[in-house]
Amino acid sequence: MSGLLAVAVTALGGGADDAVAQWVEEPGKGWIALAAYHQDTRERFGIDGDTRVFFAEGHAVTTSSFLTAALGLVPGFDMWSQFSFHRLRYDDVAGTRSSTGFGDARFWLRAAPLKWLGSAVPFAVRAGFKVPIGDFDVDAEVIPLGDGQRDWEVMAEAGHSFWPRTLYLSGWVGYRWREENPESGKDFGNEVFYFAQAGGRFGRWGWKVAVDGWD
């Protein structure tokens, strides 16, 4: 089992209702979020989850951005999409390789079944898929920008707001079916994944603690 713990502190504007629990978007309403990540490392994870130094003085630098959007379709249903753009570089004693371009794209449809029964419990079911963008070249001198195969996944989501306190809890657990890469013949294997977060605000400052993992 692998996991990642993240802690974030941000300066926020707006009212205290920014901290309410996540819910399915109303028809015609939605949001767009842009996230950017940067990693500079000389280590990698081994097959058992331990960290190992890259062979031949390897050095990997990754800069990625993810554009995520959600839009309410009809009462109780919304749609999500996510597009990625990457700049990858790897250096070792043999030289430098780099790739820049769009990565895999993801799409989901989310429903709130309890809302149809008149319940205010924030529970939703989301199903979606990942599609590879661009070519996947099996070449030691080319760094692929994606996995080169499709994923299918379904997850259950829940959340809770402690309003009027600016505290909230939310998260999901799901299962992902991963197809084999037809170019490399690599089978990533299916996996269970989860995400949980807690957050709140102190005046203009917001905080969030999140745990992300898979098995």
For position 34, which CATH number holds?
2.40.160
Q: Distance (Å, rounded) from C-alpha 134 to C-alpha 121?
A: 41
**What mean pLDDT do residues 209-215 have?**
89
CB-based contacts of 82, cutoff 8 Å, min separation 6: 66, 67, 68, 69, 105, 106, 107
Domain that holds residue 94: 2-214
Q: Distance (Å, rounded) from C-alpha 124 to C-alpha 64?
A: 29
pLDDT for 72-107, tens place per residue? 999 999 999 999 999 999 998 888 999 999 999 999
Number of domain units in the chain: 1
126 vs 143, residue with greater confidence: 126
Is the pTM for the entire model greater than 0.85? no
